[in-house]
Structure 1
């Protein structure tokens, strides 16, 4: 708990508007990716086909129904800066899975690059937190 408090104090002292805009852009990107997956469910199923071969299709529908809502809800929370670390923890298995899928099946360089960039941004905000221009900071100051 002390580590999280010290990270929050450090982040609040070193908060800059471009970092908050990056967090907001990350949230918008994840939300739009979730909308894309919901509207193109067959695309998501095709992306997950390398994993589906190994698992026998048992977890396929569970994963499909986890990815899109997790991206949408997580994107909204990250955009607002509300429970940012928890929302990012929910994104990490999806992003790691996106990277692994590229190595198990056909390599899509663009998808791999995007997944690596988003994973790096999520890891950054996992440690950095929401920042001063966020709902977390607003609610903390109102106590």
Structure 2
């Protein structure tokens, strides 16, 4: 199998269905929700990153997470630059998993972070699929 982006796109377009598009849209909505949640509950976010706040700038991290979740979520919903939007989410998701491992363990958050990370890894390879802006713009050429 061709492992280039073009080869991955061909495979994704041949194996697409509406369930995968629906899952991609739900993932995008989830990221927008989490970004908005971080903005409206900034104190909770500060408490969440307290175990690792010495290693990364708190406000820089806060703004990166909120912006990446909201803008990435919008891009994922429409399937616009899906792989790049997902790649921007991966460090955040890894941080969510690590915070649960090394900070106070919240099993529900830990499982949610692992599931979202797994789905994101899938879409980083799969891309937006046939029913996405990526596919539409590719076909316009």
Give me the TM-score of the superposition, normalised by structure 2.
Answer: 0.96
Count of residues paired in the alignment:
140
> Pairwise mapping of residues 98-109 of structure 1 onto structure 2 (< 5 A)?
98-109=96-107
Unaligned 5+ residue runs, structure 1?
none
The residue number in structure 2 matching 1:32 is 33
Q: CA RMSD in A?
A: 1.3
The residue number in structure 2 matching 1:17 is 18
* 2:83 is the alignment partner of 1:79: no
Write the distance in 1 (CA, Å) between the matches of 2:88 and 2:3: 22
Bigger mean CA deviation after superposition, 91-100 or 60-69: 60-69
Unaligned 5+ residue runs, structure 2?
none
Write the distance in 2 (CA, Å) between the matches of 1:65 and 1:29: 18
Deviation at 1:142, TM superposition (A): 1.0
> Pairwise mapping of residues 47-126 of structure 1 onto structure 2 (< 5 A)?
47-52=48-53, 54-55=54-55, 59-126=57-124
Cα deviation digits, residues 98-131 of structure 1 (max 9, x gap): 0000111110101101100100000000000100
Give me the TM-score of the superposition, normalised by structure 1.
Answer: 0.94
Write the distance in 2 (CA, Å) between the matches of 1:138 and 1:3: 20
Write the distance in 2 (CA, Å) between the matches of 1:76 and 1:44: 22
Cα deviation digits, residues 86-108 of structure 1 (max 9, x gap): 00110000000000001111101
Write the distance in 1 (CA, Å) between the matches of 2:71 and 2:40: 16
Deviation at 1:2, TM superposition (A): 6.4
